[in-house]
Amino acid sequence: MDLQALLDDLARESAPFAAQGRVADYIPALAAVDPSRFGIALATMDGQVLGSGVWRAPFSVQSVSKAFALALVLARDGEALWRRVGREPSGNPFNSLVQLEYEKGIPRNPFINAGALVLVDRLLSLTGDSVGALRAFLREESGNAAVDVDAEVATSEAAHGHRNAALAHFMASCGNLENPVEAVLDHYFRQCSLAMSCGDLARAGLFLANHGLRADGSRLLTRSEAKRINAVMLTCGTYDAAGDFAYRVGLPGKSGVGGGILAVLPERGVLCVWSPALDAHGNSVAGVEALDRFTTRTGWSVF
């Protein structure tokens, strides 16, 4: 299979679907992104990275970062993590307070905002610098020492972060935060504001396709833990459209409102696609389209 030709085809065919979506506009820094940008990259197990479109351009990773935060916490805490956060699909929009109240402050999974705040809180306790630990990991795995927080985006997130503050205060009222609300929110907003390219993200995610082994051959996760993160991504990784994503794409994936989606091809590699225009569920329209076409043509879904 000529993978480079395939990526080029997907970029050409999928990019126009962006016209059906809308760029996230809850903060000015995201609203200003050009909706016609499209990038796709594939990192394979043998270390190769192919790409098409603007696959080397950094964008705001937003919730894609949560997959990496989960890996870092699971690597340290193991199964104990699940006492503070569930791993069931939410069946509700991604920032819902309703479910959090119903579940008495235990977020339903680590990828809804409340759950991601718990990951940040825990990584902060474990490392003393949650976003710093994550950035160091991403730099090493991607091989790009320039990976960093976009300060303008982080400031903008904080200025529009009342809903996340509500989630954090509510969990604090339930006793499910270890650190001060303000510190957790600060690290969370900065984590979401990390800027990376499709190529960076695809490379950084390879440990998920490679049974938990990092780029340098050391082990981050057991084989079983890596598999389990993929399971959580498949069932919970794309907000309230996880069922639809599994149905159409059939791969573990994690999306962000910056328009990026990371998808894992177990034992083959990692795909990352970026197109800023989102559908009603907050997933990149052209990104999902490209992944759908990819698995249809290659047959490389997990099912």
Distance between CA atoms of 87 and 109, rounded to whole angstroms? 4
**Distance (Å, whole) CA 84 – CA 224:** 20
133 binds a second copy (CB under 8 A): no
- Give the per-residue contact string, 173-202, with a second copy (x = CB under 8 A; - = no): x-------x---------------------
164 is in an annotated binding site: yes
Spatial separation of the C-alpha atoms in residues 134 and 121, rounded to whole Å: 13
Angle subtended by helix axes 181-192 and 113-127, to nearest 10:
110
Could you say whether residue 162 binds a second copy (CB under 8 A)? yes
Residue pair 193/154 in contact (Cβ under 8 Å)? The answer is yes
63 is in an annotated binding site: yes
Site residues for a second copy, window 260-289 (CB under 8 A)? 264, 266
> Binder to a second copy among 4, 20, 296, 298 (CB under 8 A)?
296
User: What x-and-dash track marks residues 59-88 binding a second copy by CB under 8 A?
Assistant: ---------------------------xxx
159 lines the binding site for a second copy (CB under 8 A):
no
Return the DSSP state at 33: S
CA-nearest of 119, 99, 120, 117 to 108 is: 99
Q: Distances from the Cα of 5 to the Cαs of 9, 52, 294, in angstroms?
A: 6, 9, 12
Within residues 224-243, the interface with a second copy by CB under 8 A covers 224, 226-228, 230-232, 234-236, 240-243
Nearer to a second copy, 48 or 296 (CB): 296
Query: Among residues 121, 284, 77, which one has the least CA distance to residue 201?
Result: 284
Residue 243 structure tokens: 């069922």
Residue found by looking up tokens 């104990």 in the block: 80
Binding-site residues for substrate, in ranges, read 63, 113, 157, 164, 188, 239, 257
Interface contacts to a second copy, rule CB under 8 A: 86-92, 96-102, 108-109, 162-163, 165-170, 172-173, 181, 223-224, 226-228, 230-232, 234-236, 240-244, 246-248, 250, 252, 264, 266, 296, 299, 301-303
Binding-site residues, in ranges, read 63, 113, 157, 164, 188, 239, 257
